[in-house]
Structure 1
Amino acid sequence: MTTDKALSPLTGKIALVAGATRGAGRAIAVQLGAAGATVYATGRTTRERVSEMGRATETIEGTAELVTAAGGEGIAVPADHLDPAQVRALIERIDRDHGRLDILVNDIWGGNHLIDFNTKVWDVELDRGLRMLELGVKSHIITSSCALPLLVRQPGGLVVEVTDGTAESNKAFRENFYYDLAKTAPIRMAFTLGEELKSVGGTAVAVTPGFLRSEEMLDTFGITEETWREGIKIQRHFALSETPVYIGRGVAALAADQGRARWNGQSLSSGQLAKAYGVTDADGSRPDVWAYLAEEAAGAEPSMDDYR
């Protein structure tokens, strides 16, 4: 689908989506492109090299092509965001190409293969746990440290920290010590960066999808996007699952919102973004699994139909 760039709200904006290979990162990149942005899509999996996740199907080149097809300009740049030299070179390239950076999306992760739920910290190999923290925390710190000097040259920059869960939902036990830290840290990063960006008119938020039907999740459940409802038989909350398009549309609407400073420092779910901006998932629904889980945890017996 192409769009009229003259009518696109993010025309002329430069975005970096760090971790845009698949899932939420890919969808966010594509939806920013659909809104007219130039999007640098980075990650470790290319058509020549596969990351430790071992998924060769999704690549940053594929994401960049989808961004361009959606109406933006997609630029694929291989980068390991744990390597400061690579990230600095990436930012230097954006600076040479455009002299500005308007939107930074930190969606770097790639650690699902390391998670052992229902474990105690003493049951998890230390190297395995620390790798999760490198992938989910250190990579975000390196990227923000290198990218923010360019982003703050102009007022109004936006930083989006993508994580799993909101500040409220992450008060609950997350069943793995290292995963809990890896997914709670970006929420605090958004709060702290929001405080720092105030002086230059910038905004930082943390966002989370709900029960995400990413490529990896569909494969894990042994289903496809066409047969996703079969997943409900395995996990009933799958009834409130969502495609990556949902969080992508929400973040694009946030980026185009001239009044987005009202969200500064907060953590927002895809369901909250959908309600605030009137966006829907690909099928026209508005699932809100986090709100449902909160009601369920409080002892209620809500109907899933009321949260989709």
Structure 2
Amino acid sequence: MAGMEKPLTGKVALVAGATRGAGRQIAVQLGAAGATVYATGRSTRERPSEMRRPETIEETAELVTAAGGTGIAIGADHLDPEQVRAVVARIDAEQGGLDVLVNDIWGAEGLFSWDKRLWEDDLQTGLHILRLAVETHIVTSHAALPLLVRRPGGLVVEVTDGTAEYNATRYRVSFFYDLAKASVLRMAFALAEELRPLGGTAVSVTPGFLRSEVMLEHFGVTEATWRDGAAKDPHFAMSESPVYLGRGIAALAADPDKARWNGASLSSAGLAAQYGLTDADGSRPDWWRYDAEVVAAGRSGGVEGYR
């Protein structure tokens, strides 16, 4: 392909939490744009994580390579600073630099409860959620940023759930979930301030109603039959594939003027509108506008005008 078709050729990315969901497709789409992508996470073919899911980082790396990039899988627990430092040392030794850091570590699916107040919930489980969702991001940035800031133009992407505007006014049903997602938003804001004088950029990004592997299973559908999930929840008709956010982040990483977004809270729909992108099915779903105008308003309208 011509260079313009692969604008990230020669660039190096670390996608932390690339095993499944948004992280996997962020890695794949960075690869499709020509990047060398290090995919990290706890779920390897030899050792599954506590989530006991079938997806592995090796599969992600293979998908990156198949998309046209170079995928490299490294098993790592991002709660362990030594393991994360070893990942960064390997990237340094093999590539000599880092251009994009994506913090998409989560790993708390199924641990939080939607029907308990803070004092009714299990404290140790709640604190573990915060370690998985927040501490991992801090550990990873602490280790990787010295490599990323060696030269100007580096990009840090903090993946969360909800825009800054949305999360500032809406309680996310669970104390620990709410705190985890709001913390990641603030983390991107803080990193933006620290990176600005060094020529770096940090943003937070959120998908909409994401059709992750876990969500597809919850609705009893596959990516090929996802529209059938609307029978269980009509709002599922507004869901989006992980490809949508992945394409947006790849476009952002390739934007020579990305510093204008420093400190911003971005959504998959916003990135799609900015860079002229669509989801895998050719649509452009705008979940957060739909949520405000339909879900929050108690309406039962269809998706016309929203995707």
Give the TM-score range, shorter chain. over 0.9
Cα distance, 1:118 vs. partner?
2.7
Partner-residue secondary structure (3-state), 1:27: helix
- The amino acid that maps onto 2:215 is M
Structure 2 unaligned runs (5+)?
none
Given residue 192 of structure 2, which amino acid in structure 1 is its aligned partner? Answer: G
Letter in 2 for 1:96: A
Structural mapping, 1:214-293, within 5 Å:
214-293=212-291
Q: How does 1:25-40 map to 2 (within 5 A)?
A: 25-40=23-38
1:159 is aligned, of 147, 156, 159, to: 156
CA distance in 1, matches of 2:91, 2:252: 22
Which residue type is aligned with residue 33 of structure 1?
G
Q: Equivalent residue for 1:85? A: 82
Find out whether 1:305 has 2:307 as its counterpart. Answer: no
Q: Is the 8 A contact 1:5 1:71 kept in 2?
A: no
Question: Alignment partner of 1:112: what SS?
Answer: coil
Query: Does the Cα contact within 8 Å between 1:163 and 1:208 map onto a contact in 2?
Result: yes
- Counterpart-to-counterpart distance in 2, 1:212 and 1:223: 13
Question: What amino acid is aligned across from residue 304 of structure 1 in structure 2?
Answer: V
How far does the alpha carbon of each residue in 1:191-240 deviate from its partner, in whole angstroms, 9 at most, with x for none? 11011111111100000111111111101111111221121122221010
Which AA in structure 2 matches 1:269?
S
Q: Is it true that 1:132 corresponds to 2:129 in the alignment?
A: yes
Q: What is the one-letter code of the residue matched to 2:186?
A: R
Partner of 1:242: helix, strand, or coil? Answer: coil
**By how many angstroms is 1:115 displaced?**
1.6
Alpha-carbon distance in structure 2 between the residues aligned to 1:149 and 1:183? 25
User: Separation in 1 of the partners of 2:217 and 2:288?
Assistant: 23
Question: What secondary structure, in the 3-state scheme, does the structure 2 residue paired with 1:12 have?
Answer: coil
1:11-22 aligned within 5 A:
11-22=9-20
SS in 2 for 1:17: strand
Does the 8 A contact of 1:4 with 1:71 survive in 2? no
Deviations 1:67-101 (A, max 9, x none): 01111100000000000000000000001111100
Q: TM-score, normalised by structure 1?
A: 0.96
1:42–1:60 CA contact under 8 A, matched in 2? yes
The DSSP-based 3-state class of the residue aligned with 1:154 is: coil
CA distance in 1, matches of 2:84, 2:30: 21
Match of 1:181 in 2: 179
Query: SS where residue 274 of structure 1 aligns?
Result: helix
Alpha-carbon distance, 1:303 to partner: 4.7
Question: Displacement of 1:261 after TM fit?
Answer: 1.2
> Contact 1:9–1:36 at 8 Å: present in 2 too?
yes
Q: Is the 8 A contact 1:36 1:72 kept in 2?
A: yes
Q: Which amino acid aligns with 1:95?
A: D
1:9 correspondence with 2:12:
no
Give the Å deviation of 1:296: 3.2
Between the two proteins, the alignment pairs up a number of residues equal to 305
In 1, Cα distance between equivalents of 2:23 and 2:289: 23
CA contact (8 A) 1:47 1:61 kept: yes
Query: Structure 2-normalised TM-score?
Result: 0.96
Name stretches of at least 5 consecutive residues in structure 1 with no aligned partner: none
Separation in 1, partners of 2:295, 2:245: 24
